[in-house]
Structure 1
């Protein structure tokens, strides 16, 4: 499977997982001039920005480099500045690591 298609499939799998955990999906593939956030989900007063990584190997070391974390954080700040209704929410950054034929790994508060 091509890497782009694997990534899209992994994002939809992550959406399904978070829906099963009773999160409402606000945005999928939210782009702005700073960067892109794969998934934005909300449950109660928790707002979660989710980065999805699909790999063919088991290596998780440095899977989201510091510069990408900063780009996602700035994109989240921009999203919050344009959406006042989420200002009182607790913000969290999750990482979903998906490999073929293995269970997904969800790391809450990844950074």
Structure 2
């Protein structure tokens, strides 16, 4: 059974990377500069770190059946960890010290264009 489980894990990782690549492309089309993928900062992993102007977007990427499900998937605790991770990364990079850190969501659903939601949880 561990072989089946390992294959499911591999498939899930591959789907996640594809989703992150599509989300990054979508963000670049909107004028964002991608600074990194899957960045570890403290207890959080940031899917995509992107910059547009003075806004440093900590982007969570979720593929779900619909956009509402994607928004609900990210818990308050996870959002808090992601915000702290973004602030930590900004503080470590001199060029980002005065950037505004924001938590965004790129939601992906079957047969739909990606949806980028800036400040997806409005500070909550």
Aligned length: 110
TM-score, normalisation: structure 2: 0.79
The two structures, once aligned, show a CA RMSD in angstroms of: 1.7
- Give every structure 1 segment of 4 or more consecutive aligned residues whose post-TM-superposition deviation is greater than 4 Å: none
Corresponding residue for residue 67 of structure 1: 77
TM-score, normalisation: structure 1: 0.88
Whether 2:86 is the aligned partner of 1:86: answer no
1:20-59 matches, cutoff 5 A: 20-55=29-64, 57-58=65-66, 59=68
More helix per residue: 1 or 2?
2
What does the per-residue CA deviation read over 1:2-35, in whole Å, with 9 as the maximum and x for residues that have no partner?
A: 3322211110001101111121111111113321
Query: Deviation at 1:105?
Result: 1.8
SS in 2 for 1:103: coil
Q: Separation in 1 of the partners of 2:24 and 2:76?
A: 24
Q: Which structure would you say has the larger Rg?
A: 2
Q: Which runs of 5+ in 2 are unaligned?
A: 1-7
